[in-house]
Amino acid sequence: MGIAGEEPIDKHHVKECPPSEDNDLLVIQVTDPHLRKEAEGKLLGMNTRSSLDAVLSLIHQNHLAPDVVLATGDLAQDGSIEAYRCFEEKTNSFDCPVYWFSGNHDNREAMSEVAGATDVLKKVVRMGTWQFIFLDSLLDGKVHGHLADTELSLLDEALSERPDLHSLISFHHHPIDIDCEWLDAIGLKNRDQLLEIVDKYSNVRCLVWGHIHQEVDALRKGVRLLATPSTCVQFLPKSKEFAVDTQAPGYRWLRLSPDGTINTGVERADHIEFQVDYSSKGY
């Protein structure tokens, strides 16, 4: 495990892009689009490309100039090259950096091939008084998540290297139980290791994740805990077994102030009617 005083974090993983330190940062989170190779690909009856288009259109309508767009996993349902190329093309509409990482449905190799030499897979991004740390919780062949020792070491090193920066940590799987029995069985399995590191550092401001297709806004030891609706189908909160919710696709915005204050909210594309198979028993 990395600790203060060890070798600095690999600069290959770090992107420094400081804006004016006097300005808030506007971060947009989109998550779990579940795109497929086919343009007509669906998840539980919903065309996921169409629903992503609706959410992206809403973002452009509501936010003229975000500083960062964060895509928190399950970009593809089938792990196909075509799905990642589609996501890349659709998010090229933003004039700001867009960052990705893996969810349980994703394929790292395909993501890397599409990302190429761009910065979309950077692990640490530093802007003004903030740093963003992006972790990969994909455990190959499993639905639940796990952070490898290399990911935990990177987190520890990034936090210890820049204690002067407010830190937002993001990954795919939920690190807390959400009172939803079937989803809590497939969360982040080594959450205690993650939270042990988080608890060491006073500069951690929030944890942000996807995976659960629903909204969470909680507080743990002064750290904000945030989950976000999918850009496609939503899961019913507090359900014992798999169940689909009737709420519309959405996204999260976060306004990060230079003093570490966080304002955030969720917006949904509820002006559009989407087709969903509510009778499904899984996905």
Q: How is 123-191 classified by DSSP, letter by letter?
A: SEEEETTEEEEE---B-TT-SSB---HHHHHHHHHHHHH-TTSEEEEE-SS-SS--S-HHHHTTSBTTH
Residue 215 tokens read as 């909204």
- Tens-of-pLDDT digits for all 283 residues of the chain? 333 444 566 766 787 776 556 689 999 999 999 999 999 999 999 999 999 999 999 999 999 999 999 999 999 999 999 999 999 999 999 999 999 999 999 999 999 999 998 999 999 999 999 999 999 999 999 999 999 999 999 999 999 999 999 999 999 999 999 999 999 999 999 999 999 999 999 999 999 999 999 999 999 999 999 999 999 999 999 999 999 999 999 999 999 999 999 999 999 998 878 788 777 777 7
pLDDT of 88: 97
pLDDT of 15: 77
pLDDT of 13: 78
pLDDT of 272: 76
Secondary structure letter of residue 212 according to DSSP: S
pLDDT of 187: 97
pLDDT of 259: 96
In order of 27, 46, 68, 130, the CA distances from 273 in angstroms are 27, 10, 28, 38
pLDDT of 4: 40
pTM score, whole prediction: 0.93
pLDDT of 276: 81
Contact 164, 195 (CB under 8 A): no
Residue 25 tokens read as 């940062």
